[in-house]
Amino acid sequence: MLENIIKCIQEGHYLYSQHARDEMETEELGEIMDEEVRQAILRGKIIEDYPGDLPYPSCLIYGKTSQGRPLHMVCAYAEDDRKVIIITAYEPSPDQWIDFERRRR
């Protein structure tokens, strides 16, 4: 799925949910810009997979911006439309994540 998501990001075939926009604007650690999301996805890896999500399967991607800012993005891939929907984007808290990749128990 990551290959398809990266290709869509590179080609500009993606959109943000209103929830993602709201989260990006109000991020506690500073507003997240579109280019940061793009950079983090292009450098990212899938750390959780949600194949049963509807209407499209989705995944949690962890990546870093060119400035080293860690970000998480939940992305859905609409295969029929060859489009990515960025459902949310946020800067993960080290209190809740181990190396930003595994949830703390």
pLDDT band at 102 (very low <50, low <70, confident <90, very high): confident
In a domain, 34, yes or no: yes
Q: What is the pLDDT of residue 72?
A: 98
In a domain, 47, yes or no: yes
Among 104, 85, 102, 100, which residue's Cα sits nearest to residue 43?
100
In a domain, 102, yes or no: no
In a domain, 99, yes or no: no
pTM higher than 0.85: yes
**Residues forming beta bridges with residue 15, ordered by sequence position:** 85
In a domain, 105, yes or no: no
State the Cα–Cα distance between residues 58 and 25, nearest whole angstrom. Answer: 22
In a domain, 104, yes or no: no
In a domain, 39, yes or no: yes
In a domain, 41, yes or no: yes
Structural domain for 80, as ranges: 2-94
State the Cα–Cα distance between residues 36 and 29, nearest whole angstrom. Answer: 14
Q: Is the dihedral of CA 55, 59, 64, 66 positive or negative?
A: negative
Segment 5-59, tens digit of pLDDT: 999 999 999 999 999 999 999 999 899 999 999 999 999 999 999 999 999 999 9
Question: What total number of domains does the chain contain?
Answer: 1
Contact 11, 65 (CB under 8 A): no
Supply the CATH number for residue 54's domain: 3.30.2310
Helix (H) or strand (E) holding 77: strand 70-78
